[in-house]
Structure 1
Amino acid sequence: MKVIDPCTLVLFGASGNLSRIKLMPGLFRLDQAGRLPEKMAILSVGRSQVSREDWLADIKSMLDAKFPKGYDQAVFKRFIERHHYHANPPDDPSSFTRLKETLSDEAIFPQNLAYFLSVRPSDFAAIVDQLASVGLTEEGKYWRRVVVEKPFGTDLKSAQELQ
């Protein structure tokens, strides 16, 4: 199996419906199958201020709902240890600067960064622009990736603008 670089998955829209129903359970299944890098962190980004403890409890409730017959608690412990939460209110101009400060902690967050945008298509460009404005898309020693959840835009014109 190919070795995957240590990385941090930055999940925008982490408290949304897609994340609750598909993404968190899917990431858990990947962890269960040994398909996530050993040194991978997941930083969930949401609009609200939530403590890490409350966020971890929320993840547990997502998994409990998806796996009513239960799941391996050792895998759950490993999975939950990967998770962190960052509040990024859309009306706060300093939120992306704080995100950069949070991600700069190399002891917690591997510096290869994948941004997964599980948000409305109308928010894609603004988020990527804000990431770029604080230097979070710049590659040097480490790679950066932006993944957008489909649909890409709301029509042909908006898809072309995003491209």
Structure 2
Amino acid sequence: MPWGNRCCVYDLAFKPDGSELLVAADTKVLIYDGTDGTLLQSLKGHKDLVYAVAFSYNGENFASGSADRSVIIWTEQHEGTLKYIHNEAVQCLAFSPITCFLLSCAISDFGIWTQLEKSVSKQRTSSRCVCCSWSCDGQFYAIGMFDGTVSLRSA
């Protein structure tokens, strides 16, 4: 899937049904057809490098996180409907496998977005966040830190 502006690809995510592939590259979120690799759309909304992309478990939403400190929640129709800000660059994102909870991790804090809440409460971390994941049942999430520690938390 070549494209003209050959920047680093920071993250990838398939839609759960496999029909679309999100690509975090440069300041854009690129959406490709998941079966033949055709570029469907290039989404703009971030002002700096996009480091992370993730689909919700049902494919109705996806999210992107950027060095501009923002997380954008997008609809299935590729419309940015919500934006929230972290204190520093967003490093990684992960949707819960059973709900539309989104875990977003920045350099020095993390937050969980839900469709039920209007605001995202964030918590500071003792080290740089580098990766995150949910348990299969959505009861726990883990955040990997630059200092070698893993923080396991109850949802």
| Higher normalized helix content (fraction of residues) | 1
Instruction: Choose 1 or 2 for highest CA Rg.
Output: 1
Q: Which of the two has greater strand per residue?
A: 2
TM-score (norm 1): 0.27
